[in-house]
Amino acid sequence: MLLQIKPESDTPIYMQVRDQIVEGVAAGELAPGDPLPSVRELARDIGVNYHTVNKAYALLQDEGYVRVFGRRGVVVSQPPAADDAYLLEIKAKLLKLMAEAKSKGMKPGEIVQLAEELSKQELSEGGESNE
């Protein structure tokens, strides 16, 4: 899996690293037990400070996506199943996104249509669905 960092993005680099690893897990590119590069190795490969990668890995570990074994490495773990707390978190994020979209003139139906298109795109690219 090749990470593509966009320094000009409004998204902090550590979040770009985190998000792309989560996307890799969701797409099946990264499976439980797969090793990830060390903090220093990944930092060197993508040209960022190792503290940035360390922050991304720490966040991924807190969220249950990876296990960090110090100098022995980082491996992908089985992410926890969605529980009630996660569903509340997702709902809050979706409400925020919907409010932003509505404030920019999008209609609720357009937002739903966009979500359906993205879901179909995910399925056609080999991702799995919980339907």
Overall average pLDDT of the 98-113 stretch: 92
Comparing 22-36, 54-68, 88-102, 114-128, which segment has the lowest mean pLDDT? 114-128
- Report the candidate in 28, 35, 23 with the shortest Cα–Cα distance to residue 66: 35
For all residues of the chain together, what is the average pLDDT? 90
User: pLDDT tens digit string along 3-61?
Assistant: 999 999 999 999 999 999 999 998 899 999 999 999 999 999 999 999 999 999 999 99
DSSP state of 48: S
- The domain limits of the chain are 13-76, 84-124
A 10 A CB-CB count for 121 gives: 10
Give the 3-state secondary structure of residue 75: strand
Please report which confidence band the pLDDT of residue 79 belongs to, taking 50, 70 and 90 as the band edges: confident
Amino acid at position 11, single letter:
T
Residue 1 has pLDDT above 90, yes or no: no
The answer to whether 125 touches 27, Cβ cutoff 8 Å, is yes
Residues in the chain: 131
Q: What is the CATH number of domain 13-76?
A: 1.10.10.10
Q: What is the pLDDT of residue 130?
A: 43
Tokens 């439980």, residue located: 32
